[in-house]
Amino acid sequence: QKEVEQDPGPLSVPEGAIVSLNCTYSNSAFQYFMWYRQYSRKGPELLMYTYSSGNKEDGRFTAQVDKSSKYISLFIRDSQPSDSATYLCAPVDMGRRALTFGSGTRLQVQP
Amino acid sequence: ETGVTQSPTHLIKTRGQQVTLRCSSQSGHNTVSWYQQALGQGPQFIFQYYREEENGRGNFPPRFSGLQFPNYSSELNVNALELDDSALYLCASSLSTAFQDGYTFGSGTRLTVV
């Protein structure tokens, strides 16, 4: 079983839709939870992160962590075609100083 | 210089050969990590260097090794290449080992082993 599970998609939505991206994880030691976006032929770029349980909002993006159920979510409001990319959740393994990436969800926002 | 640059962008090697991939970090970034991303998968952590010393390692065999230099450049060396080593290799640098500072990734080197 992988430490971080993520539905690979693709997820196709119309422009303006609310998008929900999710991950589950198994390691209770994870404390920081990152979300990265990766465009084709590019490296991942950090969108936002949360520490422990709770919500964090940044513009159209909201990250949510529920440590009791080991569930991580990213919500995108008013989705745009430019949001079309692969979204990777990445809890942090502080012991190994490593990001533990999920397999990524490919999102397509149709104009 | 801003950003993280990696070279070469593409590389084809034969099974059993050795390869060196290079990364130039952002100025002042004393932490560099290397990740392997197989097609359709998320990146997997190989190792991290901080001030030229390895300070974290993932589940990769010893034939994966690295170096970090004082000029913010680094190398990933892979010996005895196997077909499964074919992947995108990503370098990420940061101001420190604190994850809150954010890790800046390069665009990667795509390695194909035939």
- Write out pLDDT tens, residues A50-67: 988 889 999 999 999 999
3-state secondary structure of A32: strand
Q: Do B58 and A92 touch (CB under 8 A)?
A: no
Residue B2 confidence (pLDDT) = 59
Torsion sign over Cα A48, B103, A82, A24:
negative
Q: Are strands A32-38 and A85-93 parallel, antiparallel or unpaired?
A: antiparallel
Closest Cα in chain B to A97? B56
Q: What is the pLDDT of residues B25-75, one digit of tens each?
A: 988 888 999 999 999 999 999 999 998 999 899 999 999 999 999 888 999
Q: Do B107 and A8 touch (CB under 8 A)?
A: no
Cβ neighbours of residue A72 closer than 8 Å, sequence gap 6 or more: A22, A23, A24, A25, A33, A63, A64, A65, A66, A89, A91
